[in-house]
Amino acid sequence: RETILQVQDLKKHFPVKDGMLFSKPSRFVKAVDGVSFDVFKGETLGIVGESGCGKSTMARLITQLIRPTAGSVLFKGKDLVTLSEQEMKKERKSIQMIFQNPYASLDPRKTVEQLIMEPLLIHGVGTKLEQKKRVKELLEVVGLSEYHAQRYPHEFSGGQRQRINIARALTLNPDLVICDESVSALDVSIQAQVINLLKDLQSQFQLTYMFISHDLNVVRYISDRIAVMYLGRVVELGTYEEIYRSPQHPYTRALLSAVPKESPFEEKQQIILSGDVPSPMNPPSGCHFHKRCPYATEACKTDSPVLRDYQNGHMVACHLAGEI
Ligand code: SF4
Ligand code: MG
């Protein structure tokens, strides 16, 4: 399979200012702490984890909206981390993001046409006539119509606004679209509609998705593979079947056991996570999960498990992978 994106040992450590104004920061929030994975062309890679685990920071590092402390982001073989802002602007045509809040992400003073046209203007693509034609095309593609072009965002429902955001993201024919909690603010029935739309668009335009969500129920409907994050690290990565049918990491199992059962016949024992979610400011030594893990050994307190191949590409970061 063709790899479109390779993230290698990506880190973002935010300095915490404490004490004197000019003193060097002595503490860091390790929002993203050594993350590596590949994204294959045409797939949807789901990224799940509790809020504060570094999912959104990672998305912003990939698009270079924030610059990493270390690591590389190879997009079609080119390391985005080394690019200047000017060079990065060109790459942003091919990598688009769709954010969570369909209310805040659209400028209320602009018409739908202006909003969808904006990326074309920024990148100087097409004549006025071609731009208008493109907007009309995109409105139809996302299930709206040209009659909506002259309206303003407040005239639309949350689901429709997210359709407008999707149209905007597709304006420049991207290869990779990163959805960060893109349906989380919507009602469940509307979530399903938007996810189905995203799936249709994926096959229609050969899109690759990274789909970030705290909600395992949402991620399961769209993802081919899933990466589970915990405190700035990927702890497990596998296909949909591997993660949902045979999760190996104790954290993945705990997350899944908290998801409501699909049918009353399915016996699932809920694993209650003990302990508070530790802060990324002071992540525990060794395995970040050891304070909440029912299987933790002495070694887990000091040795950091690396994400390694457990079986045919199913990756697990746990000293006891396969033994639990
Ligand atoms: Fe639990 Fe140890 Fe595995 Fe971490 S490495 S998940 S503490 S068993
Ligand atoms: Mg987030």
| Span 232-272, pLDDT tens digits | 999 999 999 999 999 999 999 998 887 655 544 444 445 55
**Nearest ligand by distance to the CA of 51:** 2
Instruction: Report the candidate in 42, 41, 81 with the shortest Cα–Cα distance to residue 60.
Output: 81
pLDDT on residue 22: 62
pLDDT on residue 44: 98
Which residues lie at CB < 5 A from ion ligand 2?
56
Relative to beta strand 95-98, strand 3-16 is: unpaired
pLDDT on residue 141: 97
pLDDT on residue 66: 94
pTM, 2 dp? 0.92
For 12-24, give one letter per residue: b (16+ CB within 10 A) or e. bbbeeeeeeeeee
**Nearest ligand by distance to the CA of 285:** 1
Pocket mutation for ligand 1, best pick of 300, 304, 323 (most atoms within 8 Å of C-beta): 300
318 lines ligand 1 (CB under 6 A): yes
pLDDT on residue 268: 45
300 lines ligand 1 (CB under 6 A): yes
Architecture of the CATH domain 3-20+27-94+175-191+207-316: 3-Layer(aba) Sandwich (3.40)
Nearest-atom index, ligand 1, CA of 290? 7
Relative to beta strand 308-311, strand 233-239 is: unpaired
Strand partners of residue 237:
227, 315
pLDDT in tens, 209-235: 999 999 888 999 999 999 999 999 999
The burial class, CB within 10 Å (0-12 / 13-18 / 19+), for 110 is middle
pLDDT on residue 263: 41
Question: What's the 227 CA to ligand 2 centre distance in angstroms?
Answer: 15
pLDDT on residue 1: 87
Intervals of the chain under pLDDT 70: 18-26, 102-103, 259-278
Residue ranges, CATH 3.40.50.300, the chain: 3-20+27-94+175-191+207-316
Pocket mutation for ligand 1, best pick of 315, 316, 318, 323 (most atoms within 8 Å of C-beta): 318
Structure-block tokens of residue 230: 């915990």
Q: What share of the chain is helix, strand, coil (3-state, %, to 5)?
A: 35, 25, 45
pLDDT on residue 258: 73
